[in-house]
Structure 1
Amino acid sequence: MTTSRMPRIVGTAWGLLILNTLGSAGAKTIVPLPRSLIQMVTMGALVAAFTLALAVNPRLRIRPSAFVFLLTLLLVVSVISSASLESGFGALFRCARLGLFVTTLWLLSRWWDGGLTFARHHIRMYFAVLGSVAAGLAVSPGAAMPELYGGRLVGALWPLTPPQIGQYAAVIIGLTVLLVLGRRTDRGSAALVVVPSLLLLALTHTRTATLGLLAGLVLAIGSLVLTSAAARRFFAWAVGCAAVAAVGFNAALQAWFLRGQSQENFTSLTGRAKVWNALLAAPRTTSEQWFGAGLGDKSFGGLPIDNSWLAVYHEQGLAGVALVAAVFIVLGGVALLRPPSLQRACAIFLISYCAIASYTEAGLGDASPYLLHLAVAASLLAAPAGAAPRSTSEAPSEAPSEAPSTPEAPARRIPRWAQRSEVS
């Protein structure tokens, strides 16, 4: 089956999926927004994304995808773990949301052909989100950098936390840099995206996003070094700049990285380690150990877990952890087996970023931006659909037809007078 030309409505559906995963909890906005209203908008965006995907793909044509198949199995595990209602009826609601999310990905998988289209949609939509953050900073700097968050940048128009803003900025910076190296966009357009995104990333003081960006770019550009002169030049330039920054701005970088925290607070990952130790030490039944306590709000004892693996273990058990690990193994294995290309490099960046961020951020076990990042990686690694074989009636006229299997007829003897006339 050939992959048809992607309609614009597919990009709209992808943007609605991104809107759904922005969340409803965060900083106080300039204009107070009731959480119920925000949840209505985000859930309405998911329903609209599913409706558009179904409208543009009414025949339910999908492409085989190990990534979405593993997410489907994760949904089954989530339903099993939530059926006991240990986490309340909200767990079943979250399962329904995850089911609609995965179904929409199945419908959109028809257009996963190894191209860069979904990566470009990803950049545009998250850049629009960052545009709202920058607008909030311009309108009310005090609300955008409140003391409650230690002066870090938050969403003043839409409730976004510093880690969210840092994540979105890091992802579009990395993808845009790779597009420039692959000569799929000009430097002027890339600068319009990268420069303001870098500024917003710096204002968030988000260490996870910064480390994920740097490590992801190193791995992605490293996969292009042997085949791209531009990648080699950029890699050498980046190493030189990093060396100069490490020597000349060591104190400033260290102060930015520590964010004014004490050594004890830094080593405990801002208190995360205490929550992790308590979660691992909590008694569990055999069912809870294998299937978890059901989908919740990614917290334990009223405190955020802030670790994807422990959050999945708590809510979906060891079965969920195994499925999430399988997602990374499958995507990473496919990326390593693909020949060097820009699409492969972008996928490596997204996979490595999500793997690094999973240590201090939750979201791999539920509908989240991290699953959308990995979905873009899956679309980049999908094999291009080959042309459908032509039928016999559509065979090109210039193709030679096979000779009949009958014995070859003897050549007709030409009379001598005809031979003489041909010579004359």
Structure 2
Amino acid sequence: MGGDLRRGGLPGGPDTAGTRSGAEPRPAGTPKIVGVVWGLLILNTLGSTGAKTIVPLPRSLIQMITMGALLAAFTLALAVNLRLRIRASAFVLLLTLLLVPSMISSLQLESGFGALFRCARLALFIGTLWLLSRWWDGGLTFVRHHIRMYFAVLGSVAAGLVISPGAAMPELYGGRLVGALWPLTPPQIGQYAAVIIGLTVLLVLGRRTDRASAAVVIVPSLVLLALTHTRTATLGLLIGLVLAIGSLILTSAAARRFFTWAVLCAAVAVVGFSSALRAWFLRGQSQEYLTSLTGRAKVWDALLAAPRTTAEKLFGVGLGDKSFGGLPIDNSWLAVYHEQGLIGVALVAAIIIVLSGVALLRPPSLQRACAIFLISYCAIASYTEAGLGDASPYLLHLALAASLLAAPAAATPLSTPEVPPLSTPEVPRLSTPAVPRRRIPRWAQRSEVT
């Protein structure tokens, strides 16, 4: 693993010193503190509700930690970018515009003072993204930060499973894997595992990391994903990888080989393990219960049937906990409609459309493939998960996609050779041959004087 750090493997990151062929040049390099800021943003979006942990953690303490992480992230980002240098970003601009309906609806206090608190949190989150946009140069730096931090989160989940298997797979959640050290739900764990699996696979195909380092990330994450029994994350991973690898097929032989082997393995799995896969997919639920999306459809129908004023239709009722009638909404579009109205829905749709359009217009590359994977995963998960309208992991995934689609900054050489000033070459002077002086006789001089 130590050798991989030097060779630019997954944990080590790219070679910014220009000592390796194919290194990713950046104008001045990304400060290490930027990775710390990104990790703090991820910590802020882990949430404060979930399964019971081995050591009971009060919700107020968890909220204090997550909000403290956001404040620290904004402070550090401001400290490292005191001159407030930012890059133009349609993604962050649309997020900033999303604050308008959020503030208008939250000021009505229909959702209580907690709505104003969530608006302040969203504003700090967006402000931190603006400050970090200075280093969005189309490189893979933030991808590596993303994988490292979420892999650390999954490490805490695995540690809880080893320490207390009963607490990590409680009957309350049907024996699905939860966070026993930090309150994480099965969909959260499945989301984190699916995202880093997809990104790591793409890094391997792009030859930006070696297979040994990738296996350290992919294999444990696949095990945790299987233990969560999360259908949305699994489908998002498979469909997202198909679209991302499909964008590389014409330009990458490795992508073509991987796609061929993946299709063959999928066919064998469907034929040989169809009953086991069906049992895993159903999770012991009936076909009727699965058709109603595990009860989500009833909440959705009630939300759409609820009477609303014109202002509530346009601006929503204010940022809340993504629930309706005490039940989770579990749909990003309906949650945005409920809390930020039709204007919020239009802005979130514009974010997805703009990112997708930019990704389609970019030439084939590893960065484009990673962005396509993240965008498609978030679009698929938005049907059964909420989070596109508030500070959440899904907005961080889309922010990462925006950083990958940013135009590369002009490279600045690390050392500029000294060039001597231009000087005009000396032109040799043409010397006039000396003419012998004519001597005048004295008698002639006297006559001239006379």
TM-score strictly above 0.5: yes
5 Å-filtered alignment, 1:227-306, equals 227-306=251-330
Give, in angstroms, the shift of residue 327 of structure 1: 0.3
- The alignment status of 1:206 with 2:206, answered yes or no, reads no
Q: Which residue of structure 2 lines up, in the alignment, with residue 77 of structure 1?
A: 101
Letter in 2 for 1:60: L
Which residue identity is paired with 2:401? A
SS at match of 2:48: coil
Output the amino acid matched with 1:360. Answer: T
Match of 2:371 among 332, 347, 365: 347
1:162-177 paired onto structure 2 within 5 Å? 162-177=186-201
| 1:386 Cα deviation from its structure 2 partner | 2.0
1:57 to 81, 89, 113: 81
Is 1:154 the equivalent of 2:178? yes
Q: Which amino acid aligns with 2:315?
A: F
TM-superposition CA deviations, 1:105-135 (whole Å, max 9, x none)? 0001100000000000000000000000000
- Please state if 1:195 is matched with 2:219: yes
C-alpha deviation, 1:155, in angstroms: 0.1
Report the equivalent of 2:132: 108
Q: Deviations over 1:9-41 (max 9, x none)?
A: 000010000000000000000000000000000
Select between 80-89 and 169-178 the one with higher mean Cα deviation: 80-89
Identity of aligned residues (%): 85
User: What is the CA–CA distance in structure 2 between the aligned matches of 1:222 and 1:369, rounded to whole Å?
Assistant: 25
Aligned to 1:318: 342
Deviation at 1:396? 6.4
8 A Cα contact 1:4 1:111, kept in partner:
no
Partner of residue 23, structure 1: 47
1:86 aligns with 2:110: yes
Asked if the contact 1:118/1:376 (under 8 Å) is kept, the reply is yes
TM superposition score normalised by structure 1: 0.92
Q: Counterpart amino acid of 1:262?
A: S
SS at match of 1:360: coil
Tell me, which stretches of 5 or more residues in structure 1 are unaligned? 389-393, 402-411, 416-424
C-alpha separation in 2, matches of 1:197 and 1:333: 31
- Partners of 1:86 and 1:293 within 8 A in 2: yes
Q: SS in structure 1 opposite 2:158?
A: helix
Which residue of structure 2 aligns with residue 419 of structure 1? none
- What is residue 380 of structure 1 aligned with on the other side? 404
Paired with 1:19 and 1:238, the residues of 2 have a C-alpha distance of 34
**Matches of 2:178 and 2:199 in 1, distance apart?**
23
User: Aligned equivalents of 1:73 and 1:4: distance in 2?
Assistant: 31
Moved runs in structure 1, 4+ residues, more than 4 A?
394-401, 412-415
- CA deviation map 1:81-103 (0-9, x unaligned): 11111111100000000000000
| Aligned positions of 1:210-225 closer than 5 A | 210-225=234-249
Cα deviation for residue 148 of structure 1 reads: 0.1
Work out the CA distance in 1 between the residues paired with 2:154 and 2:86: 32
Within the alignment, does 1:33 sit opposite 2:45 as a pair?
Answer: no
Aligned partners of 1:297, 1:271: CA distance in 2, in Å?
Answer: 18
Give the CA RMSD over aligned residues. 1.9
Partner in structure 2 of residue 359 of structure 1 = 383
Rg bigger for which structure?
A: 2
Asked whether the 8 Å contact 1:13–1:52 carries over to 2, the reply is yes
Match for residue 404 of structure 1?
Answer: none
Give the counterpart of 1:119 among 143, 164, 176.
143
Tell me, in whole angstroms, the C-alpha distance in 1 between the residues paired with 2:112 and 2:423. Answer: 70
Inter-partner Cα distance in structure 2 for 1:105 and 1:362: 20
Q: Secondary structure at the match of 1:30?
A: coil
**1:422 aligned partner:** none
Q: Is the 8 A contact 1:350 1:377 kept in 2?
A: yes
State the AA in 1 paired with 2:177: L
Residue 134 of structure 1 corresponds to 158
Q: 1:301 to 1:399 in 2, by over 3 A?
A: farther
In the alignment, is residue 44 of structure 1 matched against residue 68 of structure 2?
yes
Give the aligned residue type for 1:318: L
Shift of 1:314: 0.2
